[in-house]
């Protein structure tokens, strides 16, 4: 492990010294950090997509809340969760990420930009524009997943 990731792991290990932190795999705190970030992203984006598709009743205020949550969550510095050395462990993150971190960061920036735009357009109440921007945002998930996320866990 490089110094940077060792320091990051040590800092997280201190936090995790407290017993019973659900969802966090203590032996892989960095991987858990990024997976927690994407779990929040997924569980915020998913219901918005359900609303746009009519699977759940439309409600402006709720949609606006989710959209601003997604924009806020997106800005969390998940780059920490891709520290050198953390390509190992139980993960669906493909090793290619660490070979082209600039491209990965660009895809992350695209996602953050579109999520911010979604939070803004949500305020308009224009459902056509909202649906279109939700699509744009979803496109940034797909662009990254197609290249950098495996469907199955790579190492068990």
How many C-alpha atoms does 1 have within 13 Å on its Cβ side? 16
CB of 31 to ligand HEC, least distance (A): 5
Q: Which residues here bind ligand HEC, judged by CB under 6 A?
A: 31, 34-35, 38-39, 41-42, 45, 91-93, 104, 107-108, 111, 137, 140-141, 144-145, 148-149
CB of 93 to ligand HEC, least distance (A): 4
Determine the distance from the C-alpha atom of residue 39 to the mean position of all C-alpha atoms in its chain, rounded to a whole number. Answer: 7
- Which residue number, 2 or 151, has a Cβ lying nearer to ligand HEC? 151
In 3D, which of 145, 28, 148, 37 has the Cα closest to residue 89? 28
CB of 46 to ligand HEC, least distance (A): 7
- Which residue number, 16 or 40, has a Cβ lying nearer to ligand HEC? 40
Token pair of 124 as six digits: 């308009």
CB of 19 to ligand HEC, least distance (A): 22
Measured torsion, CA atoms of residues 80, 133, 65, 151, in degrees rounded to the nearest 10: -50
């Amino acid at each position: 492990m490089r110094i940077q990731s060792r320091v990051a792991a040590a800092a997280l290990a201190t936090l995790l010294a407290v017993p019973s932190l659900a969802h966090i795999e203590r032996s892989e705190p960095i991987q858990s950090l990024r997976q927690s970030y994407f779990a929040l992203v997924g569980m915020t984006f998913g219901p918005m997509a359900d609303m746009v598709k009519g699977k759940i009743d439309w409600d402006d205020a709720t949609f606006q809340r989710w959209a601003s949550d997604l924009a806020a969550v997106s800005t969390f510095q998940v780059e920490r969760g891709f520290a050198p050395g953390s390509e190992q462990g139980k993960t669906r993150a493909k090793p290619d990420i660490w070979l082209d971190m600039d491209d990965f960061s660009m895809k992350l920036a695209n996602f953050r930009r579109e999520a911010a735009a979604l939070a803004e357009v949500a305020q308009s109440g224009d459902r056509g524009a909202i649906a279109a921007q939700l699509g744009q945002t979803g496109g940034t998930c797909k662009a990254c997943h197609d290249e950098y996320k495996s469907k199955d866990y790579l190492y068990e």
